[in-house]
Amino acid sequence: MMETLHSVTMDSPVGPLFLASSARGLVALEFDKRLPGQQTIRPNPRDLRMEAKGLRFQESAEELQAYVRELNEYFDGRRREFRFPLDLRGTEFQIACWRALLAIPCGETRTYADIARAVGRPQGFRAVGMANNRNPIAIVVPCHRVIASDGTLCGYGGGLEVKRKLLELEGARSGMLAA
């Protein structure tokens, strides 16, 4: 059965963002500009009418208005946490990792090892890194708040400059983030 997701592309200080929601909540928040091989919910970013993965996209700024409003408040520095529902879709392990990310307070960071311990896999920091890499809801599920054990920023789907901007916006900037 084909599922219809509502979608919109919004402008932001870190570039265009693609949002998609189901009846249950936000399913995807993707940077318009992606790295080669990076996951996307869209079968072809240039043609949202295409159907793939059992999904159909229907552009609807109205359906996504609440999401866009909260994201704009976040970028304006007026919002520290999001209140809208999420529709997390992934493996049990990925969802556990993403829930651990959601527990990181705005303005703070954690290491991959911290997240691995939080999900009961203390040696699983590489697996946590892969789960972060597959995070379909950038910014809201804050994988940008995860840094390497030595304090460097390390990989981010939106690019390290975007990661740095988001951490600065949240007030997590410190000497450690100079990398």
**Cα separations in angstroms, 144 against 36, 40, 129, 135:** 19, 17, 11, 11
- Return the residue matching tokens 């896999």: 121
Q: Is 77 helix (H, G, I), strand (E, B) or coil?
A: coil
Is residue 97 annotated as a catalytic residue, yes or no?
Answer: no
Write the DSSP symbol of residue 140: T
- Of the residues 97, 106, 143, 154, only one is catalytic, namely 143
- Distances in whole angstroms, Cα of residue 139 to Cα of each of 32, 45, 85, 120, 178: 13, 19, 14, 24, 20
Report the DSSP pairing between strands 55-59 and 3-10.
parallel
- Enumerate the active-site residues: 143
